[in-house]
Amino acid sequence: MEYKYTGIILGKRDIGETDRIYNVYTLEQGKISAIARGVRKGKAKLAGHLENFYLVDLTVMKNRGLGNISSSIVENNFFNLHQDLESLKEVFEVIKIFTRLINDEEKDNEVFALLLEYLETMNMVNESQEDLSVFKIKKNLVTQGFLFKLLDLAGYRAETNKCVKCHNKFSKNKNFFNYDLGGVVCKNCLNNSDTMVPISDNAIKIIRIFFQNKLNSLFKLNITRKETNELERMSQNFIKWIL
């Protein structure tokens, strides 16, 4: 049977003498794996159409087990992103998390759209001529926005509107983020046995902005390294707790 997919290449690994297995997040079937046979031979054209994070149209021949990729047409190679090693490293780390968080063969249009939006935005950030330090902060903000939105789609929305324990609106200052409960806990509900860390009012505000906005509009935010560092620490800890 022949299958057609639109997908984003998540990663690859070598098997056998000349073959390679690709992980692809597809619009039609979610995360799948497929083999490209002979792709590591010198003249194999297919390899150039199956680079990490490319958006491709794939044809896969499949009966039982893993399918064989018979053709790939590149729809977007995210050229600017691939020119910048640091951004590429950042995306690589995020895709590793994505791959672990998202189950195999669960189709989800929203997850697909978010992943595509992330790559498009990271590609766009690299087109902009910002000051290098500002540029790094904005890239990281986009990455954090992607992770919080992805966690939301995976069923782990960080609650930042009301206290996860008493469900009351919390006031400014001295709030905490509880990883077990996946949200902000107000100071009245503080309990020593909980796994929680202080969360700043700004971090709460930015997470709310993530949920209300597209990733590419995050460029407009004026943000400091301190704020993105706090968000990064939070997303990393939250993800560690989930995985």
Question: Is residue 203 at the binding interface for Zn ion, with CB under 5 A as the rule?
Answer: no
Going by C-beta distance under 8 Å and a sequence separation of 6 or more, which residues neighbour residue 47?
A: 20, 36, 39, 40
- Residue closer to Zn ion, measured from CB, 103 or 171: 171
**Could you tell me where the DSSP H helices lie in 31-188?**
79-83, 85-101, 109-125, 132-153
Q: How far is the CB of 211 from Zn ion (least distance, A)?
A: 20
Question: Is residue 111 at the binding interface for Zn ion, with CB under 5 A as the rule?
Answer: no
Rounded CA separation 93/171 (Å): 35
Question: Is residue 166 at the binding interface for Zn ion, with CB under 5 A as the rule?
Answer: yes
Q: How many residues bind Zn ion (CB under 5 A)?
A: 5
Question: Is residue 199 at the binding interface for Zn ion, with CB under 5 A as the rule?
Answer: no
∠ CA 191-152-105, nearest 5°, is 130
- Residue closer to Zn ion, measured from CB, 96 or 187: 187
Question: Is residue 207 at the binding interface for Zn ion, with CB under 5 A as the rule?
Answer: no
DSSP-based three-state secondary structure for 1: coil
Cα–Cα nearest to 2, from 55, 68, 49: 68
Question: Is residue 163 at the binding interface for Zn ion, with CB under 5 A as the rule?
Answer: yes
Which segment (60-68, 128-136, 171-179, 188-196) binds Zn ion by CB under 5 A? 188-196
Q: How far is the CB of 173 from Zn ion (least distance, A)?
A: 14
Query: Which residues of this protein are in contact with Zn ion, per CB under 5 A?
Result: 163, 165-166, 186, 189
